Amino acid sequence: GVINAGDGIHEHPTQALLDMFTILENKGRIEGLKVGIVGDITHSRVARSNIYGLKKLGAEVILCGPSTMLLPEFQNLGVKICYDLKEVLAEVDVLNVLRIQRERINENLLPSIAEYREFFGIDRKKLLKYARPGLLILHPGPVNRGIELSTDVLDSGLEEKGICTLVLSQVTNGLAVRMAVLYLIAGAGGKIEDSN
13-184 in CATH: which number? Answer: 3.40.50.1370
CA 107 to chain centre: 23
Quick one: pLDDT at residue 102? 75
Q: Please report, in tens digits, the pLDDT of each residue of the chain (196 residues total).
A: 788 988 888 899 999 999 999 999 999 999 999 999 999 999 999 999 999 999 999 999 999 999 999 988 999 999 999 999 999 999 999 999 999 987 776 777 887 899 999 999 999 999 999 999 999 999 999 999 999 999 999 999 999 999 999 999 999 999 999 999 999 988 876 555 666 5
CA 32 to chain centre: 17
Sketch the domain layout of the chain as residue ranges.
Answer: 13-184
CA distances from 155 to 4, 58, 124, 125, 195 (A): 30, 30, 11, 15, 34
pTM of the model: 0.92
Residue 97: DSSP 8-state: E
